[in-house]
Amino acid sequence: MVGIAGFEKEQDCLVKVTLKDTGGLNIHINSKLKLLFGKLMLEAVRDAANEMKVENANIEVSEFGSLDFAIKARVKTAIRRARRAKYEQA
């Protein structure tokens, strides 16, 4: 199931989470600042996924200058939306 959160605006990010049954976490970050802050962005996404107890998902982040707390919040919201879609579809 898929969950999306965020906007393609300055100081924000757009996150798409696709929950799956196996395969672990696959995280893809698209950002102009990836060379400088890529490790911190990746850590923020992993932390949010761990806090939500997600072990198997594809997470795509298009980042436009957002801070780590905004990335975490968007990832958590996208996970919640993906879970809700999963239960609504069942």
Per-residue pLDDT for the chain (90 aa), expressed as one digit of tens each? 899 999 999 999 999 999 999 999 999 999 999 999 999 999 999 999 999 999 999 999 999 999 999 999 999 999 999 999 877 776
In the prediction, which pLDDT does 90 show?
Answer: 62
* pLDDT score of 89: 74
Amino acid 39: pLDDT: 97
Q: Which CATH entry fits the domain spanning 2-89: 3.40.50, 3.30.230, 1.10.3910, 1.10.357?
A: 3.30.230
Q: Which 3-state string (H, E, C) describes the chain?
A: CEEEEECCCCCCEEEEEEECCCCCEEEEEECCCHHHHHHHHHHHHHHHHHHCCCCCEEEEEEECCCCHHHHHHHHHHHHHHHHHHHHHHC
Q: What is the pLDDT of residue 43?
A: 97
Model confidence pLDDT, tens digit, residues 34-46: 999 999 999 999 9
Measured CA to CA, the distance from residue 31 to residue 13 in angstroms comes to 9
Per-residue model confidence (pLDDT) at position 88: 77
